[in-house]
Amino acid sequence: MEYTAAYHTDVGISKKTNQDSLAIKIIDTPDGQVTFAVVCDGMGGLAKGELASKELTEAFCTWFDEVFAEDAANGSFDEGALIEQWNEIIQVQNRELALYGQRNSLQLGTTISAILMYKDTYYIVHVGDSRVYHLTDRAVQLTKDQSLVQREMDAGRLTPEQAKVDPRRSILLQCVGASPIVEPDFMKGDIQKDTVYMLCSDGFRHQISEDEILAKLGPEACTDAGTMKVGCAFLTELVKERRETDNVTVVVVKAA
């Protein structure tokens, strides 16, 4: 597989700081190109959300540069070890952010959605309500929100339509830094050729439809890095025009 990536992030129309963080890394290995992408959304109502998202993003980037790159180079990559490594990063960051908060009398936290695309398989780690999708002729959500409204939908107490406008939609069941215990979701799947994998913070998706996303970021629209960048920016501006108040971040990776 070969990968092309683009992103866009924006503070939005009402906040003073952008508490989202992101990273994209594409490297060549003996097994072909590898892509790693991550989006972290610092908790909007919590102090220092931008610090929490930045610290977690940097921790995962350090892992990719120092641990994964070596494993890929010498052929020692192991799926079980990957899950252990990712879980350890999250647990360490959860403790360190909590301690920082205690020392400074504040509370801070962040979501994370990250994807590693290696050989013909993707691996995802997820906490909170940022999301990962794959886009073909339809948009398929690969992650599941760890949120109050998602729990209410699972229990049959809310419909998807009601959840979209529920005032509790920003309440998370857990996040890194502000939860005593964090249990990440891990998943894997086969990478589909001519598919776009999209990561986004929740501010990106509230005000636009899946059809609008596909029209600008689906495989047919994403012909190169330039069109992908334009699509990300166009949808971000559309979200802002519709008065989304949160920070807005989207990352897209096309497999070809």
Reported as a single tens digit per residue, the pLDDT across 21-66 is: 999 999 999 899 999 999 999 985 677 899 999 999 999 999 999 9
Q: Are 190 and 114 in contact (CB under 8 A)?
A: no
Give the mean pLDDT per block of 10 residues along the chain (256 residues).
97 94 96 96 81 97 97 93 98 96 91 97 98 97 95 91 85 94 97 96 94 97 97 98 95 97
pLDDT at 100 (0 to 100): 93
Q: Are 228 and 254 in contact (CB under 8 A)?
A: yes
pLDDT at 10 (0 to 100): 97
- Alpha-carbon distance values, 7 to 4, 51, 166, 200, 245 (Å): 11, 20, 28, 10, 19
Amino acid at 28: D
Q: Is 166 exposed, middle or buried (0-12, 13-18, 19+ CB in 10 A)?
A: middle
pLDDT at 48 (0 to 100): 85
- 3-255, CATH topology level: Phosphatase 2c; domain 1 (3.60.40)
Q: Are 159 and 167 in contact (CB under 8 A)?
A: no
pLDDT at 45 (0 to 100): 63
Q: Give the span between the Cα atoms of 234 and 232, in whole angstroms.
A: 6
The residues near 2 (Cβ < 8 Å, ≥ 6 apart) are 32, 33, 255, 256
What is the per-residue DSSP string for 134-194?
EESSSEEE-S---BHHHHHHHTTSS-HHHHHH-TTTT-BS--BTT-SS---EEEEEEPPTT
Q: What is the DSSP letter of 208?
A: S
Q: Give the span between the Cα atoms of 95 and 50, in whole angstroms.
A: 17
Q: Give the span between the Cα atoms of 36 and 123, in whole angstroms.
A: 9
Q: Which two tokens stand for residue 214?
A: 């596909």
Determine the 3-state secondary structure of 231 from DSSP. Answer: helix
pLDDT at 123 (0 to 100): 98
Q: Give the span between the Cα atoms of 228 and 239, in whole angstroms.
A: 17
What is the per-residue DSSP string for 65-107?
IIIIHHHHHHT---HHHHHHHHHHHHHHHHHHHHHHHHHHT--
Q: Give the span between the Cα atoms of 49 and 107, in whole angstroms.
A: 9
pLDDT at 161 (0 to 100): 85
Q: What are phi and psi of 202, to 5 degrees?
A: -65, -25
Sign for the pseudo-dihedral over CA of 151, 210, 230, 27: positive
Q: Give the span between the Cα atoms of 43 and 107, in whole angstroms.
A: 9
Q: Which two tokens stand for residue 137?
A: 């002729």
pLDDT at 212 (0 to 100): 98
